[in-house]
Structure 1
Amino acid sequence: MKHLITAAGLVLATQAVAETPTLTIYTYDSFATEWGPGPQIEAGFEAVCGCDLKFVTAGDGAALLSRLRLEGDRTEADVVLGLDTNLIGAARETGLFAPAQIEADYALPISWSDPDFVPFDWGYFAFIGQRGAAMPASFKELADSDLTVVIQDPRSSTPGLGLLFWVKQAYGDAAADIWSRLSDNIVTVTPGWSEAYGMFTDGEVDLVLSYTTSPAYHIIAEEDDSKVALPFTEGHYLQVEVAGLVAGSSQTDLGRQFLGYLVSDAAQSVIPTTNWMYPAVDPADGLPKGFEDLIQPEKALLLPPEEVDELRPVALEEWRAALSR
């Protein structure tokens, strides 16, 4: 009888596992790490969805779109999380995304009405350095200095792509000259953000391309106010990170439920101290202490998606030509 009961229990357990739907989320590496927002968001959503949430990482944000293009209709992704405003146009052109149909009371510095993509955080790109060290206040001053810099590859990284358009919008036809002048300062180009920031914290370079919010991590998590974002007179380029529902997903209802959860207070309150960005929806308890110490750009730069798609090949060639000399 014990054997029969045990066998019946195993059958029931197997059926329960089989009936538990899996939602596969493609995202960038740092989102799903143990110190990123992924684990808390996974636990919170699984508590209400009756599902298994599975993160699959693919390097940095731009690499996500490259992977999705490569896989096409064969992709296992139900949701892609970690694209940004510079990639929305290219992502939409793939035809691989379905309307998200998610509404929220967004607290973004721009109005948001995109039908396909759901914003979950935002920030401004900036160079991060050490307090008390040399503080160039523009790309030109940086180019004229002896400071060493690490940046990310615009072909695989959203910060790298953001820097490309930051320079392009600030300098237009003179962008190629700025890149040529900056080439001596750039020690290396990494595939993604994590590798670059690690070089900076290890003391291998003077400056790293990151976000105005990055010092908040050091202030809050390490009680260290020695890292600062450099305010640039040209202004700072805005990034809004988004998530989208894959059109070919067999879990579209569950995917939309996740996107709705992503902009709920439960998830948005996690973002500031795990992804170290501004949340897309104001948390009920406000921002953590330490965010008030961050610089606020006097001028925000952002190209509309249609201009991004037109300028990308030109800006990429200017960057590539300057750094290959």
Structure 2
Amino acid sequence: MKYPLLTAGLVTIALPAMADVPVLTVLTYDSFVSEWGPGPAVEKAFEATCACDLRFVGAGDGAALLARVQLEGTASEADVVLGLDTSLTAAAAATGLFVPHGATAATTLPVAFDDPLFVPFDWGWFAFVYDKTKLSNAPKSFEELAASDLKIIIQDPRSSTPGLGLLLWVKAAYGDRAPEIWAGLADNIVTVTPGWSEAYGLFLQGEADMVLSYTTSPAYHLIAENDDSKAAALFDEGHYLQVEVAGKLAASDQGALADQFLAFMLSDAFQSLIPQTNWMYPAVTPAAGLPARFDAFRPAKSLLMTAAEAQAAREGALAEWQTALAR
């Protein structure tokens, strides 16, 4: 709105000074800040406690976050990075761009977690999701999947944490046989997307029989849509765990506020939002528990490399994947 210029005499208008409201900028993945993701509700809940302005900035998928932080370095305007996982924390720590968080709340993760730089906020198992009305006999292993003519959609491990998680899943399950498994899977892959959202959207449009996602993805369809048609294929070799984390950037000029946010992440106000917005297991079980049938697809065996092991395996696993898909 424009105000008319007053020229008839000297008129002084006293305007109240705008209060300085601190701004906390959180860099995260796109689906977190979508209208159906946790972002909007987290923003409202945190702002009710912090007397601040919480701003989420979407930056593609999880692995793209690290690439952006590495590119921007100390010039980054972000205070917190939310959405890395343990396959990337060693590389993130090696940048020297993150500082200790100080959050001390106990978690209910299925694995021990003690990292001075990163705070876990949720976790889940990777899985291939399918439509039970279209596929009656889902494969029970990567070998069965590779031997089938089923079409799958996966995510790019260079930009997506699920995509990278798939590489580590195959490596953890098969070791030196990983190249053989990828050679068998190559003709099953119809497309590789930059991130999870694109892949899952194509699957829902009927572009493939299965999509790389999570064991909890069917819970979304059941709870949010009353649709029981989706299922997660459970593999005999086990399923790779993902633990998603957030960390504070050393260049932040809102260090205390960033610490407050990281501590808030482990509160019931934040954790209770995770199951039915991010559709992952919360890092701290909410007081109200989990929704009914949320964990209907629970693997019998979990696989997980340490952060150091994942860092050491990453480049080799990526090369094996690229070689198989290039043939």
Q: Please give the residue correspondences for 1:120-159 in structure 2 after superposition, counting only pairs within 5 Å.
A: 120-132=121-133, 133=135, 134-159=137-162
Amino acid at match of 1:178: I
Find the counterpart in structure 1 of residue 305 from structure 2: 303
Q: Does 1:172 align with 2:172?
A: no
Find the counterpart in structure 2 of residue 206 from structure 1: 209
Q: Does 1:37 align with 2:34?
A: no
Q: How many angstroms apart in 1 are the aligned matches of 2:123 and 2:151?
A: 27
Q: Please give the residue correspondences for 1:180-259 in structure 2 after superposition, counting only pairs within 5 Å.
A: 180-259=183-262
Q: Deviations over 1:221-258 (max 9, x none)?
A: 00001000000001000000000000110000000000
SS in 2 for 1:30: helix
Query: Structure 1 vs Structure 2: percent identity of aligned residues?
Result: 62
Find the counterpart in structure 2 of residue 90 from structure 1: 91
Amino acid at match of 2:278: N
Q: 1:203 to 1:115 in 2, by over 3 A?
A: same
Find the counterpart in structure 1 of residue 119 from structure 2: 118
Q: How many angstroms apart in 2 are the aligned matches of 1:228 and 1:257?
A: 38
SS in 2 for 1:291: coil
Q: How many angstroms apart in 1 are the aligned matches of 2:97 and 2:193?
A: 28
Amino acid at match of 1:244: G
Amino acid at match of 2:103: I
Find the counterpart in structure 2 of residue 80 from structure 1: 81
Q: Deviations over 1:115-149 (max 9, x none)?
A: 11000000000000011513000000001111100
Amino acid at match of 2:303: L
Q: How many angstroms apart in 2 are the aligned matches of 1:282 and 1:159?
A: 23
SS in 1 for 2:317: helix
Find the counterpart in structure 1 of residue 13 from structure 2: 7
Find the counterpart in structure 2 of residue 57 from structure 1: 58
Q: 1:64 to 1:284 in 2, by over 3 A?
A: same
Give 1:73 deviation, angstroms: 0.6
Give 1:7 deviation, angstroms: 3.3
Unpaired runs of 5+ residues, structure 1, are none
Find the counterpart in structure 1 of residue 3 from structure 2: none
Q: Deviations over 1:179-215 (max 9, x none)?
A: 0100000001000000000011111110000000100
Q: Deviations over 1:141-182 (max 9, x none)?
A: 001111100000000000000000000011111100100100
Find the counterpart in structure 1 of residue 71 from structure 2: 70
Q: How many angstroms apart in 1 are the aligned matches of 2:149 and 2:26?
A: 42
Unpaired runs of 5+ residues, structure 2, are 1-5
Amino acid at match of 1:82: G
Give 1:8 deviation, angstroms: 2.1
Q: How many angstroms apart in 1 are the aligned matches of 2:59 and 2:13?
A: 40
Give 1:308 deviation, angstroms: 1.1
SS in 2 for 1:8: coil
TM-score normalised over the length of structure 1: 0.95
Give 1:112 deviation, angstroms: 1.5
Find the counterpart in structure 2 of residue 160 from structure 1: 163
Find the counterpart in structure 1 of residue 263 from structure 2: 260
Q: How many angstroms apart in 1 are the aligned matches of 2:177 and 2:152?
A: 21
SS in 1 for 2:243: strand
Give 1:290 deviation, angstroms: 2.8
Amino acid at match of 2:288: D
SS in 2 for 1:316: helix
Q: Deviations over 1:35-78 (max 9, x none)?
A: 00000000000111111111111100000000000000100010
Find the counterpart in structure 2 of residue 24 from structure 1: 25
